[in-house]
A = this chain, B = another copy of it.
Amino acid sequence: MCAFPAQPPAHPFDDDKLKEECGVFGVIGVADAANFVALGMHALQHRGQEAGGIVTHDPETGFNSARRFGYVRDTFTKADVMATLPGSIGIGHVRYSTAGSKGNTAIRDVQPFFGEFAMGGCAVAHNGNITNAAALRRELIERGSIFQSSSDSECIIHLMARSIQRNIPERMKDALRRVEGAFSIVAMTRTKLIGVRDALGVRPLVLGRLGESGGWCLSSETCGLDIIGAEFIREIEPGEMVVIDAKGVESFHPFDRRPSRFCIFEHVYFSRPDSILGGRSVYETRRAIGVELAREAPVEADLVCPVPDSGTPAAIGYAAESGIPYGMGIIRNQYMGRTFIEPTEQIRNMGVRLKLNVNRALVRGKRVILVDDSVVRGTTSRKIKDMILDAGAAEVHFRIASPPTAWPCFYGVDTPERSKLLAATMSEEEMRVWIGIDSLKFISLDGLYRAVGEAGGRDPRNPRYCDACFSGEYPVAPSDMIEKGFEMKAAE
């Protein structure tokens, strides 16, 4: 949904990475819920760095909200902002900016969205993407709804406003049955915290408990529980809705049951390495990818280097499996940030120098294996190759911890259009030549499935994960995009 974050990215080449769109967090049953929400959002910051919003409810002041551009650490740490967010229940959302938003209305696109219904207010924070949003929006406007944002997620709240159900959880079920695509939602009423995942369970969502206080929380990832010392209870199941209030947690399954299809890229790149997804440590999975990669694509070399920071666990795994020494050949500047004014006298690759510096003394004269998580456009792979060769490396080999990214994601991840994806137009060998390196190997799709615990690799008739970005097999037809002319992969 968004192309170029105004804020410094988590990964030095984020502009050449797939990007998660959002993280969601909610808490109920604690004093000063907003402070917990801010901490949860901080832990989920890697899922969305452009803006964030918090809604809380307090019996005296009603619903309160604050939406801000920038990092959580710079916005929801200010006493004057937090003082406007009283209450013992609250939800929050971190997000990227909307691509191509024009003018200056973007703050309106920052979630949570809020609606006042006859039976009370409801705030909704959504991670994912609604694939039939354009059609829903047209229909709703024709019937008299007024949209305040350009966000697809706003459809949910308008569908709820028009539901004939008499309470908010029922209205939400009604609304979500009209919605296609991927969603993990955290919502709240005056007294209830609600969590929902779509039937395929594409995006993550977990439930936690704050032991001493008796409070509950929902978070996109377990790292959001860790930061506030909450106990990880379980994942919300695909197709499940939980409604939490003073009496406890109630569970519903409002959608037709289907085999789940969790996003495999959450394991590869999106989630934090210290999170647990589907019972598996993300760090361990990434290390296992490196091990698989060393087995699938060995090469004689002197040094295994991660492309910082996301390539690190796979590089550790590759080094351990291959026996080739591990080292930090590329040093990342801790203070990456906004764009500097480039000196008028041309400096080549300024953008890269601001973020990374090659550890010349280490790589000089060596055959270097660089482990990166993915190749999207390939532009930064070329820049890194230049830097390493300039520093005197003898050979450069790329090992990529994911299969070739050949298809866009329509379930809540920002991907370039298909024609911009290097792997959509080139073979592995063509890519190697284009990047200009000695060898290039991607992990196989089967190898990736093995690394996430499917010992037999991918079952082509019933794959356990959504891997559309690699395979082109979309578990939900992206109807808005098809209407706009997107061509699905021909059935084989």
Residues of A within 8 A of B (CB): 8, 10, 30-32, 35-36, 38-39, 42-43, 45-46, 49, 61-66, 71-74, 76-77, 79, 81-82, 84-85, 102-105, 115-118, 138, 141-148, 157-158, 161-162, 210, 212-213, 223, 226-229, 272-274, 276, 280-281, 283-284, 287, 309, 312-313, 316, 320, 325-328, 331, 333-348, 353-354, 357-362
From B35, B45, B309, B341, A341 is in contact (CB under 8 Å) with B35
Residue contact B141 to A158, C-beta cutoff 8 Å? no
From B72, B82, B283, B340, A362 is in contact (CB under 8 Å) with B283
> Closest B-chain residue to A37, C-beta based?
B343
- A79, B46: Cα distance in complex, Å: 28
Residue contact B359 to A63, C-beta cutoff 8 Å? no
Residue contact B64 to A102, C-beta cutoff 8 Å? yes
Residue contact A338 to B147, C-beta cutoff 8 Å? no
Q: A144-B144, A283-B359 are in contact. List 20 more A-B contacts (CB 8 A).
A: A38-B341, A42-B340, A61-B103, A64-B102, A64-B104, A74-B338, A76-B340, A115-B146, A118-B138, A143-B144, A146-B157, A210-B345, A212-B345, A226-B353, A226-B357, A273-B328, A281-B359, A284-B361, A320-B326, A326-B326
- A284, B345: Cα distance in complex, Å: 33
Choose among A287, A320, A343 the residue with the greatest number of B CB atoms under 10 Å from its CB: A343
27 sample A-B contacts, Cβ–Cβ < 8 Å, listed by A number = A10-B335, A30-B345, A31-B343, A39-B354, A46-B334, A63-B103, A64-B102, A64-B104, A64-B105, A65-B105, A73-B335, A77-B340, A79-B341, A81-B104, A118-B138, A144-B158, A144-B161, A146-B161, A210-B345, A213-B345, A223-B357, A226-B358, A228-B347, A283-B327, A284-B362, A312-B328, A316-B328
- A356, B477: Cα distance in complex, Å: 40
> Closest B-chain residue to A312, C-beta based?
B328
Residue contact B103 to A146, C-beta cutoff 8 Å? no
Q: What's the least CB distance linking A287 to chain B, in Å?
A: 8
- A309, B39: Cα distance in complex, Å: 22
Q: What's the least CB distance linking A376 to chain B, in Å?
A: 20
Q: What's the least CB distance linking A97 to chain B, in Å?
A: 15
